[in-house]
A and B are shown apart, each in its own frame.
Chain A
Amino acid sequence: MRWLLDIDRRIIFLLVLVLIVLATVLQDRIEFPIVSSSPVDGVYDAIDGLPAGSPVLLSMDYDPASQAELEPMNRAVLRHLFRKDLRITGMTHWPRGLNFVEQVVQSTAREFDDLSVEVRTFDSKKAATDHLALVKTKPDEAAKVKAQLATVNIGRERAEAPIQYEPRLYTLLDEVEKGLAAEPFEQGGKHHVLTVVERKPTKEYGKDYCYLGVRLGAAILIINMGQSLFDAFPADKYGTPTRELAGQGKVLEGVSKLGDFKYLMVVAAGISAEQWIIYGSQKYGFPMGVGCTAVMAPDLYPYLNSKQITGILGGAKGAWEYEAKIRVPDKATSRVPAQTMAHVLVILLVIFCNVAYLMVGRSKPPGAR
């Protein structure tokens, strides 16, 4: 019996690994019901309530280490912001997140391109795939095939409930470059091949969004920004003076310091979130929401309870709920099953070891391993 208590850690490691690998391989087969929680609503409603065109600051203070937890929620929030046509200013405190976060912002903005697509419908999958090959090899011939024209804006369409197409289409189209076609997809018994004839960005850099890049200084930087955004960030990541970005009809129009933003969303690992609250919203006064790793969330409850922040997205679960709220299921939604199973495993382990412990009796000294 005792061996159960000092069982080799590596066996537990193995259990966890095997379980998660299985769950990941089978991730599409499993579905979970969603129970939305009030902290998440807090963020969602605050953003949803903003009038179009209001300037918002999105501070993405994390690095690849926390990517797993924070990137999905970051995308979800960005999608929401873009969809609401807010003027988004992105930044980060974490040099290690610099390029990574930038890529997240850009790819999300790209989702809002207006795609003019030619839709060609075939009866068999075979025919569809053949056409796809044709597009790759002899585009001009492929173009001859009769097609219907349509415009798709992935970012917006996805949001509509019920969405026009099965989600897969949007995921397929997202990556497709101009002149190429997406993998055929089936709907209503027919197989459709969508060829992108044009990609027209609707989210313009400098007008609808900008990315200030990184500056060191944590709390101090926040204080600087509170005094003058232009001093804290003389230029954006690409060297455009922030003052220019503040010009007529630009993204930062009417914004010269933190207080001018209508909402601040912080997606943060570590204590950045708290620094934003203490040195930012508290010192210069503006509503803010926080998305953070699960471990940080409990510490932010006091601020939520004290209404210093409108809401919290806690870890993967928060991201998952947010994806559900904006009706764009993505990474978080696909990963939650695996997490949950591993999570349940931990619970079982705890129960198991306690049962064993009680059977053996409380003879083991504390701190024994």
Chain B
Amino acid sequence: MQFFKRTIPIAIALITGAWFAVQYYVPAGWSETSLTKASTWLKILAGFAFALGLYSLCHMHLLRIRRRVPGWGYSLLVYVGLLTALYFGMIGEVRKVFEIAVGPIDTSKGIAWLVFAGWHAFEPGGEGKGYVWLYDHVYNPAQATMFSILAFMIASAAYRTFRARTWEAAVLLVAAGLVMFGRVPLSGLVSDFFPSFADWIMANPQMAAKRGILLGVSLGSIATSLRIIFGIERAYLGGGD
């Protein structure tokens, strides 16, 4: 059993890992093809994995609703959102399936109109107007809003943490202050020094440190990759030494 649970996965990782490390150096057509194929496979796998995610999320909220835990009502909204998005998104496909099954359907009136046509009628590409509408008026605003909360967070973070507690903190503070000021269009009026100095910091010390990090990181990632390929690190297989 151990053989199936541990050895085979490690073997798979070893083979795929080793090959795709080497593949980079093999210009032959078949080698490039292998890369292209494998990458498509990963996408497909991710697609399957979505089923797991979907289950986890739905299961959790279903339990909440079932057990009437405080605030279970909110969980209903998850389903509302999910089903609406799915309906608007997949209606085109559903219709195709229908027509394959029961032949062409007249969507000019009645239920058929309500379900398949209507104001959310789907257009070529399978996406319905309703889908785009949902995207423009729920998804997109919500996303942009959450993102824009960063503006507040960055302000409060700056206020809370930019304090010259230690020398390091002071250096960070000064660098931040200079670059911030250099970025303000007004600083150009005070003196050209500020914008150009900000750029200098970005282009020299900033970049130097970044390169250092980058080099270190690349070594770290190479080492990790090797540990994975040679089965030394196997937490992703559920740890075990």
Tally of contact residues, A, Cβ under 8 A: 60
Expressed in whole angstroms, the Cα–Cα distance for A352 and B163 within the complex equals: 10
Instruction: Collect the chain A residues with CB atoms within 8 Å of residue B39's CB.
Output: 217, 220, 223-224
Expressed in whole angstroms, the Cα–Cα distance for A33 and B192 within the complex equals: 13
Closest to A304 in B: B203
Instruction: Collect the chain A residues with CB atoms within 8 Å of residue B166's CB.
Output: 366
Are B36 and A220 in contact (CB-based, < 8 A)? yes
| B87 on the A face (CB < 8 A) | no
From 222 to 245 in chain A, residues with beta carbon under 8 angstroms from any chain B beta carbon are: 223-224, 227, 231, 237-239
Interface-lining segment among B6-14, B51-59, B65-73, B154-162: B154-162
Are A340 and B186 in contact (CB-based, < 8 A)? yes
| A180 on the B face (CB < 8 A) | no
Are A345 and B206 in contact (CB-based, < 8 A)? no
Expressed in whole angstroms, the Cα–Cα distance for A347 and B183 within the complex equals: 11
How many interface contacts (CB-CB < 8 Å) are there between A and B? 139
Give chain A's interface secondary structure class. Answer: helix
Instruction: Collect the chain B residues with CB atoms within 8 Å of residue A220's CB.
Output: 35-36, 39, 42
Closest chain-B Cβ to A127's Cβ sits at a distance in Å of: 38
From 314 to 369 in chain A, residues with beta carbon under 8 angstroms from any chain B beta carbon are: 317, 320, 336, 340, 342-347, 349-354, 357-358, 362, 364, 366, 369
Closest to A215 in B: B43
Expressed in whole angstroms, the Cα–Cα distance for A277 and B181 within the complex equals: 30
Are A353 and B151 in contact (CB-based, < 8 A)? no
Instruction: Collect the chain A residues with CB atoms within 8 Å of residue B124's CB.
Output: 238-239
Interface-lining segment among B97-105, B139-147, B223-231: B139-147
Instruction: Collect the chain B residues with CB atoms within 8 Å of residue A7's CB.
Output: 159
| B184 on the A face (CB < 8 A) | yes
Expressed in whole angstroms, the Cα–Cα distance for A63 and B164 within the complex equals: 38
| Max chain A C-beta neighbours (<10 A), residue from B39, B132, B214 | B39
Instruction: Collect the chain B residues with CB atoms within 8 Å of residue A223's CB.
Output: 35-36, 39
Expressed in whole angstroms, the Cα–Cα distance for A33 and B146 within the complex equals: 31
Expressed in whole angstroms, the Cα–Cα distance for A299 and B202 within the complex equals: 9
Contact status of A66 and B206, CB under 8 A, knowing A12-B156, A346-B158: no
**Per-residue interface assignment for chain A, residues 53 to 85, with 1 indicating a CB less than 8 Å from any chain B CB and 0 otherwise:** 000000000011111100000000000000000
| B63 on the A face (CB < 8 A) | no
Instruction: Collect the chain B residues with CB atoms within 8 Å of residue A133's CB.
Output: none
From 183 to 206 in chain B, residues with beta carbon under 8 angstroms from any chain A beta carbon are: 183-186, 188-189, 192, 195, 199, 202-203, 206
Closest to B38 in A: A220
Contact of A336 among B159, B176, B185, B214 (CB under 8 A): B185
Contact of B186 among A32, A231, A298 (CB under 8 A): A32
Are B199 and A37 in contact (CB-based, < 8 A)? yes
Contact status of A346 and B186, CB under 8 A, knowing A305-B203, A305-B207: no
Contact status of A12 and B177, CB under 8 A, knowing A99-B135, A301-B207, A302-B210: no
From 124 to 156 in chain B, residues with beta carbon under 8 angstroms from any chain A beta carbon are: 124-125, 127, 132, 135, 139-140, 143-144, 146-148, 151-152, 154-156
Are B152 and A12 in contact (CB-based, < 8 A)? yes
Expressed in whole angstroms, the Cα–Cα distance for A350 and B162 within the complex equals: 6
Are A301 and B202 in contact (CB-based, < 8 A)? yes
| A9 on the B face (CB < 8 A) | yes
Instruction: Collect the chain A residues with CB atoms within 8 Å of residue B158's CB.
Output: 346, 349-350
From 15 to 67 in chain B, residues with beta carbon under 8 angstroms from any chain A beta carbon are: 32, 35-36, 39-40, 42-43
| A163 on the B face (CB < 8 A) | no
Instruction: Collect the chain A residues with CB atoms within 8 Å of residue B185's CB.
Output: 32-35, 317, 320, 336, 340
| Max chain A C-beta neighbours (<10 A), residue from B43, B124, B176 | B43
Closest to A365 in B: B165
Closest chain-A Cβ to B57's Cβ sits at a distance in Å of: 18
| Max chain A C-beta neighbours (<10 A), residue from B160, B177, B186 | B160
Contact status of A66 and B135, CB under 8 A, knowing A13-B152, A350-B158, A366-B166: no
Expressed in whole angstroms, the Cα–Cα distance for A100 and B131 within the complex equals: 13
Are B203 and A64 in contact (CB-based, < 8 A)? no
Expressed in whole angstroms, the Cα–Cα distance for A349 and B214 within the complex equals: 32
Instruction: Collect the chain A residues with CB atoms within 8 Å of residue B181's CB.
Output: 347
**Per-residue interface assignment for chain B, residues 68 to 97, with 1 indicating a CB less than 8 Å from any chain A CB and 0 otherwise:** 000000000000000000000000000000
Contact of A302 among B132, B188, B207 (CB under 8 A): B207
| A216 on the B face (CB < 8 A) | yes
Closest chain-B Cβ to A92's Cβ sits at a distance in Å of: 14
Expressed in whole angstroms, the Cα–Cα distance for A9 and B159 within the complex equals: 9
Closest to A351 in B: B177
Instruction: Collect the chain A residues with CB atoms within 8 Å of residue B159's CB.
Output: 7, 9, 12, 349-350, 352-353
Are B177 and A347 in contact (CB-based, < 8 A)? yes
**Per-residue interface assignment for chain A, residues 11 to 43, with 1 indicating a CB less than 8 Å from any chain B CB and 0 otherwise:** 011011100100000000000111101000000
Please list 25 pairs of residues, one from A and one from B, whose beta carbons are closer than 8 Å in the complex, sorted by A's number: A13-B156, A16-B151, A33-B189, A35-B185, A64-B143, A66-B147, A99-B135, A216-B43, A298-B207, A301-B206, A301-B210, A302-B210, A302-B214, A305-B207, A336-B185, A346-B180, A347-B177, A347-B181, A350-B158, A350-B173, A352-B159, A353-B160, A353-B162, A354-B173, A366-B166
Given contacts A9-B159, A349-B155, 7 further A-B contacts (CB under 8 A): A7-B159, A9-B156, A220-B39, A299-B210, A336-B185, A343-B180, A351-B177
**Considering the complex of A and B, which 5 residue pairs feature the smallest CB-CB distances, nearest first?**
A220-B39, A35-B188, A64-B140, A9-B156, A65-B147
